[in-house]
Amino acid sequence: MHTSSKFLRDGDRLMRRSLLLLALCSCTDDSGGGGGIDGTTHVETYELPAAIPPKLDLLFVIDDTSAMASHQQALGALPMQLEQTLQGAYASVANYHIGVVTTSDANLRRSTAIPDPFIVHDNTFSGPANNYQGSLASALASLLPGAAATTANQPLATMQAALGSNPANAGFLRGEAYLGVITISASDDASAGGIIDYASALKATKSDPLNVVLSGVFDPNNPRLGAFHAQFPNRSDMETIASGDYVGALEIFTQLYRSVLGYACRNEPADLDPDLPGPQYDCSFVSIDGGVEKLLPQCGTSVTQPCWEIVAGDASICTDPAMRSHLQTRGYTTSMSAYGDPFHPAIRGQCIVN
């Protein structure tokens, strides 16, 4: 909180400096030459809404029967594939729960590598808040099952039980998160219930069924698993288990981010000294993350941290000729607390404008 107050004081000082300059320059320049502001100036507020990766609760339903024995090597590569896939999509800022159940046990698997029955990976703009040490891949690897069970293969029944009112799995599902389910099975489903019933129960876990996303690794000729995935058109995917490569089954979870807010096109800030190369703006911007404001520097060749910049003149983005300027950030991923393009917290500030 002390750090936040300092940023606020620094921002206030910069804003007061801008307002003082505004008071000195809010006049019409009739000198007919030289540098400085030409015309009447005023202060405008610029805002950039936060762009945050989606929250995802990802459940792996993995066949642990002896039929999976020949697929253990491919399964062992899955944790690193998942880490690389999600890192590539959501950079260093991501928020997901990852749990594993088998097709014979609906309780989330546990290991000594994590203190909870599921992985918590919560990397914000302020830094990580994870419940595991080391890499995400190593944490997930500690939860993978073997292939020794002799019970019937029932991925749909265990999936439903795992996501129902199972006290052993409390806290895994979050109302505001997407739910992703990945079924990895060497044989078809042998659950007793009907396909439609299992699909309906899964959709009912979310107030909006479109927030349920499926993927599977199995034989495409499996009639029950194939019919189950068909109940989720346009939000399910499948990779054949014979391929030995599960990357394709993970890519659907990289497409959840929805950018519904475009650039905020505004008037370009005043160039305080046109005689110098490049625009000389008088602006002050802060990032707002979790209620904490942090003063941002202006982007430049020597800036190696998240920063702001005003980009002007792009008619394809800002179609109004009078407002062809927009605020954007430049992200850096040199540390876990940096921004990963295109994600950033809310940005707000003011500039002197002609």
Q: Which residue has the tokens 């921002």?
A: 11
Supply 215's token pair. 């993927």
HSE-up of residue 229 (Cα within 13 Å, Cβ side): 26
User: Same structural domain for residues 73 and 109?
Assistant: yes
Could you list the residue range(s) of the whole structural domain that residue 289 is in?
2-51+263-353
In 3D space, the residue among 261, 191, 199, 243 whose CA is nearest the CA of residue 75 turns out to be 243
CA distance 125 to 112: 28
User: Same structural domain for residues 191 and 339?
Assistant: no
Q: Residues 339, 125: contact at Cβ < 8 Å?
A: yes
CA distance 330 to 47: 15
CA distance 186 to 145: 14
Query: Would you state the pLDDT for residue 22?
Result: 39
User: Same structural domain for residues 271 and 178?
Assistant: no
pTM: 0.78
User: Same structural domain for residues 185 and 65?
Assistant: yes
User: Same structural domain for residues 148 and 24?
Assistant: no
In 3D space, the residue among 319, 309, 312, 304 whose CA is nearest the CA of residue 347 turns out to be 309
User: Same structural domain for residues 121 and 242?
Assistant: yes
Q: Give 10-residue mean pLDDT values along the chain (354 residues).
A: 39 44 38 54 87 92 97 97 90 89 97 96 84 95 96 97 95 96 98 98 96 97 97 95 93 79 72 88 90 88 81 72 69 57 85 88
User: Same structural domain for residues 165 and 26?
Assistant: no
Number of domains in the chain: 2
Which of 254, 275, 308 is a domain's end point?
254
Which of 254, 282, 315 is a domain's end point?
254
Query: Would you state the pLDDT for residue 322?
Result: 65
User: Same structural domain for residues 14 and 112?
Assistant: no
User: Same structural domain for residues 99 and 204?
Assistant: yes
Supply 317's token pair. 């983005």
CA distance 119 to 143: 9
Residue 214 is part of a domain; what is its CATH number?
A: 3.40.50.410
Query: Would you state the pLDDT for residue 194?
Result: 98
User: Same structural domain for residues 184 and 303?
Assistant: no
Q: Residues 73, 104: contact at Cβ < 8 Å?
A: no
Which of 254, 286, 306 is a domain's end point?
254
User: Same structural domain for residues 155 and 130?
Assistant: yes
Query: Would you state the pLDDT for residue 337?
Result: 52
User: Same structural domain for residues 119 and 154?
Assistant: yes
Count CB-CB contacts under 10 A for residue 318: 21
